Structure 1
């Protein structure tokens, strides 16, 4: 289904809409540390896998790199356009709040 013509058409349409919004509305650019961003995107994929598994949906566990690449391609545009449309990024991607909490704790516990 992911490789279907209808999904490809939807993907192209959304991409065109984002490009149009970026070129016609003032947008903000947010710089993010690559290592932290990569960790966040990988964690997002792993969380999605667990959510789908818990719902009894078959998952592809070897797609983390394509997922990260796809998110890197479209997420910056979403981050720039969302505020113009009256949304925060956490309203669009609710896992971000959880990601920040995990980053604060880190693998060895809370940071002081």
Structure 2
């Protein structure tokens, strides 16, 4: 197995994670069907998940988590810092897609720099 194989797998997984984030954004958060259904009665689990995700977006939970992990991974030596950078990318991708791009951009850049260091 070559040395670049894990990098290709990581990029493919992050691409799928980004596509899933776009699916959540356009399929659950911005779809008019869910807006109408959840405004009438929010008893279904989909409406509860939409509500909790809306609160997480409002308070920028994913973006701040990604930025915190990206800052910590810069200081953490070795493979531990590399895995923290991957985790920052996992939090930063959906934060970038789900309306908190201003903070998530910095987290993604810092995590990406740690991955190539």
Give the alignment's TM-score, normalised by structure 1. Answer: 0.34
Between Structure 1 and Structure 2, which shows a larger proportion of helix residues?
2
